[in-house]
Structure 1
Amino acid sequence: MDAGTALPSLAAKTNDAAARRPFSLAARAALTTGLVLAAFLGAIGWTLSRTYNASELNKLQGRLHDYVITYIAGTDARRDGTPLMPDTPPDPMFSRPGSGLYAVVLGDGFHWESSSALGRDFSFLHPLQPGQSQFIGPVDTELGRLYYYSFGVALDVPDRPSVHLTFTVAQTEDELESNTTVYRRSLVGWLATLGVMLIVLQLLLLRWSLTPLRKVASDMSRVERGQSDHLDSQYPIELTGLTGRINAFIDSEREQRTRYRNTLADLAHSLKTPLAVIRSQVEASELPSPVRAPVLDQVRRMDELVAYQLARAATTGRQTFAAAAVPIAGHAEDLVQSLEKVYAAKNVLCEFDIEDGAAFYGEQGDLLELMGNLLENAFKWAGHHVLLVVKVQRQPGRPRAGLLFSVEDDGPGIEEDKVEKVLQRGVRGDERVKGHGIGLSIVQDIVRAYNGELTVDRSPEFGGARFSVALPPT
């Protein structure tokens, strides 16, 4: 019987539990930190980008204002009141057509454009009153998106009314957008680098902070595997209360289990002795057979009932804190040697197929009861051959490996429709064979106590019965 056949339901339950497993503390902290850090760096990036954009706009406004003042300072008026524009522009770009930097002067019946603005449509511009200024943009025009600064002035002309002019300098947003794009890319790169560095640092700090918790988990696994009696005492002060209570719980569990088993042993001795005395007295008495036979039968039934219930109650079952792993190979050899002496007349050959390192995580008495009853049943019904197979079933994330026991014989086997009846307490497969009929029911109780599964079928190798026990990893 392979692991997939023996433990289908257990594997399904384990997979469901793994699928529903919540995030670890480290994963939660890392996820939370990552989200907060992303939001924080995003807010910083947005703020810096807005600040840089506002700064660039202020610089652009200041530059356009300076161009306007330069043009105003270089402008004169003829005696007839006609404005005389400067010959040299404040920037060579004003002389290159389509350069993206334009100058326009509007007045009463006067319109002047820089060389870069010749042939362009500036109908969207409007004259301003002297002393009035405005900075507008971006504006969608046939020249593209523009920012422009306008300023209204009044030129004094001797013996004539002052001339009202509006000086405007416009620039496309290409340069502004180019600078902003470069800045944003650089900002994103630096913030991303900073974010990765902070996340790595946070993970390192988190790993260091959770080291004591990982040590507790590791020490707990050692206690569960029986490699240590208690948790270590060297923990941070925040964990000493928890670990101290766990150690106290471990001691209490072990003391209670020992006291319970001792009480059961005393009870067994107290009950067995009176029953044996009653049986011997009845057998030695001169009571008539019709009276003596029913009494002896009832005494025998009481003896079987006491033996079964005590064996059932003494089953420890799966333990959270095992004292030590019980090796199987040595105990199996001792049991087989004893059974070979008992059934020497049958000349039974028992073969082993026990995986190296196979160990039982539980009470030694439970292991001996389990293997002893299965092997004794096989010896009782076997012709000449018995096979004991023990395989280890490991599962990632489980500190204790599971086990697969299989005991086969070359006897008559058990019919499929009789399997359930044979496993009942007090039922024997053949009344002609000695026994109380409680061995297999004890095996069932032990298997249930360890959350395992017992199956009975026919041996593919010998043709007799095969009893298989699957104990899951824990």
Structure 2
Amino acid sequence: MRKGSIAASLFWLSAGWLVLALVATGFLLTDLYSRALDNSLSETLQFHVESLAGAVLKTGDPMSEEITLTDPRFGRPRSGWYWAIYDADGKLYNLSTSLVGIDLPPLSGVPDQFGRRTAVLDDDFGTQMRVVERTVTVAPNTYQIVVTGNLSEILMLVGNFRGQAFIVLGAVGVMLAIMSAIVARFAMRPIARLSAAIESVREGESVSVTGTYPREIAPLAEEVNELLRSNAQIIERARNQVGNLAHGLKTPIAVLRNEAGSSKGALADVVLSESEKMSSMVSTYLDRARLAARTAVVGKRTDANMVMARLSRVMDKIHGDVSVTFHQPDALLPWFRGDEADLEEMAGNLLDNACKWSNGHVDVRLSSDRGDTGTMLLIRIDDNGPGLSEDDAQKVLRRGVRLDEKTPGSGLGLDIVKELVDVYGGSLALKRSALGGLLVELRLPTARLGGMAKS
């Protein structure tokens, strides 16, 4: 799950709440367990107090040997479990074996409606105790019965329970976190499938978004398909309008040129000159509109290896005195993401120029070039001709510029190539070749390698 993704956001949000819930659950369980043990201890002590009070009332003598408790903890020294009987002046009458040699600290506070007082005290050994005291009257005397229980043992049990509870809750939290990650990943699968379907359209593997999606994102898939249909309709209308405009303008301009050409005088010369400019401008902008409309179509891709091999064979036959060598790539290359006719126009112009200017040899190579914008298709065309200087390399990319009027051509080829390259988001560079002539490097966007097997 990448940072910033919906799945990651869902995971961290659920994980955060899960941690808070488990920590709160751990403290709540510990508190409930502590209260339960403390209540149990208090009830046990009250039972012992009532047992001693009953024995005192039965015997009438607080010093009687019949007054005792069967719990063996009251017979173990320093156990924290003690009992004693005092009179109102604090005189000791009876005590448990565990209390021998130990003085219990006095209690303070007001007794409850049953004549009992409770407190938490420490004995001489630092053991924390829960203390319950009750007043018993055996006429004419009043006695205080005190029973203590070891509270330190309870606190130790609570601490052990807390540690074990957090270990168990931690393990549960890990399992729930894993489940949350799995749920988030599975919940995002339809979005991943939709993304793959859109990528398939962009790479030319499909003409529309296909598949069945949950109702939450099904409208998105439908809107994407509608957008693709609308885009195709707009492009088709633009093509028709460009064609209509071409036919509508070319005929009047041709008439003007013919009439001006058949006449003499300053006016005819001006009309002829301006009509030539209009014809050039119309041709330029119509070409650009045609290129923009053609390359705006989503879902086209071309096997550049096949196209370049075919163009190399054609140019080798057309230019009989030039040897065109196509170096077959060693590895499987990604396809060009665009129209096959556009690739032929770009590569054909470049290869034709290389053959015209070479001294008999042209090399063509294909490779992948990984740059800042991702993997690009690199077409390299080397010739052993005279080459170009840096200034001349910039000039020849301008529309209609030719450095040698003797070589046949209009001078528009490289400019058309440059416009197509710009429309596709590629790049065109003219450099010095290792063969001594010109090296042309054409970089173009690529389609996914995985889509090639489906074509």
TM range (shorter): 0.7 to 0.9
Note the 1:393-412 alignment, pairs <5 A: 402-412=376-386
Query: What amino acid sits opposite 1:73 in the alignment?
Result: G
Q: Secondary structure at the match of 1:182?
A: helix
2-side partners of 1:361 and 1:188: how far apart? 57
CA distance in 1, matches of 2:218, 2:271: 62
Q: Tell me the residue number matched to 2:400.
A: 426
Do the aligned partners of residues 149 and 465 (structure 1) sit closer, same or farther apart at CA in structure 2, a change above 3 Å counting? Answer: same
AA aligned opposite 2:419: D
Please state how far the C-alpha of 1:100 moved relative to its aligned partner.
2.8
In structure 1, C-alpha distance between the alignment counterparts of 2:313 and 2:271, rounded to whole Å: 37
Q: Is the aligned partner of 1:349 residue 2:324? A: yes
Supply the distance in 2 between the matched residues of 1:444 and 1:58 (Cα, whole angstroms).
89
Report how many aligned residue pairs link the two structures. Answer: 442
- Displacement, 1:389? 2.4
Indicate the SS of the match to 2:118: strand
Runs of at least 5 residues in structure 1 that lack an aligned partner in the other structure: 1-17
Call closer, same or farther: CA 1:470–1:143 in 2, change over 3 Å: farther
Change (3 A) 1:155 1:358: closer
Letter in 1 for 2:437: G
Report the counterpart of residue 7 of structure 2 in structure 1. Answer: 26
In the alignment, is the contact (CA less than 8 A) between 2:313 and 2:324 conserved in 1? no
Q: Confirm or deny that 1:466 pairs with 2:439.
A: yes
> What amino acid is the match of 2:422?
R
Correspondence 1:218 to 2:196: yes
Alpha-carbon distance in structure 2 between the residues aligned to 1:279 and 1:332: 40
User: What is the CA–CA distance in structure 1 between the aligned matches of 2:171 and 2:151, rounded to whole Å?
Assistant: 30
Indicate whether 1:102 and 2:79 are aligned.
Answer: no
- 1:364-408 CA-to-partner distances (Å, cap 9, x unmatched) read 33222221222122222222222222223579xx9x963222222
Counterpart of 1:469, as a letter, is L
Q: Which of residues 135, 139, 147 is equivalent to 2:129?
A: 147
Question: Cα gap change, 1:440/1:140 in structure 2, threshold over 3 Å: closer, same or farther?
Answer: farther
TM-score (norm 1): 0.78
* d(CA) in 2 for partners of 1:120, 1:422: 111
Partner of 1:324: 300
Q: Is the 8 A contact 2:129 2:151 kept in 1?
A: yes
Q: Distance in 1 between the 2:219 and 2:357 partners?
A: 56
Unaligned runs of 5+ in 2: 448-455
Counterpart residue number, 1:132: 115
**How far does residue 121 in structure 1 lie from its aligned partner after superposition?**
4.5
Structure 2 counterpart SS, 1:120: coil
Indicate whether 1:60 and 2:34 are aligned: no
The equivalent residue for 2:409 is 435
The question of 1:446 aligning with 2:426 is answered no
Contact 1:381 1:412 in 2 (8 A): yes
* Partner in structure 2 of residue 312 of structure 1: 288
Query: Which moves more between the two structures, 259-268 or 35-44?
Result: 259-268
| Aligned: 1:256 with 2:239 | no
TM-score norm. by structure 2 comes to 0.80
**1:278 positional shift:** 8.1
In structure 2, the partner of 1:38 is 19
Is the contact made by 1:391 and 1:404 (CA closer than 8 Å) also made in structure 2? yes
Give the 3 Å change call, closer, same or farther, for CA 349–129 of structure 1 in structure 2: closer
Percent identity at matched positions? 28
Q: Distance in 2 between matches of 1:253 and 1:401?
A: 27
**SS of structure 2 residue aligned to 1:362:** coil
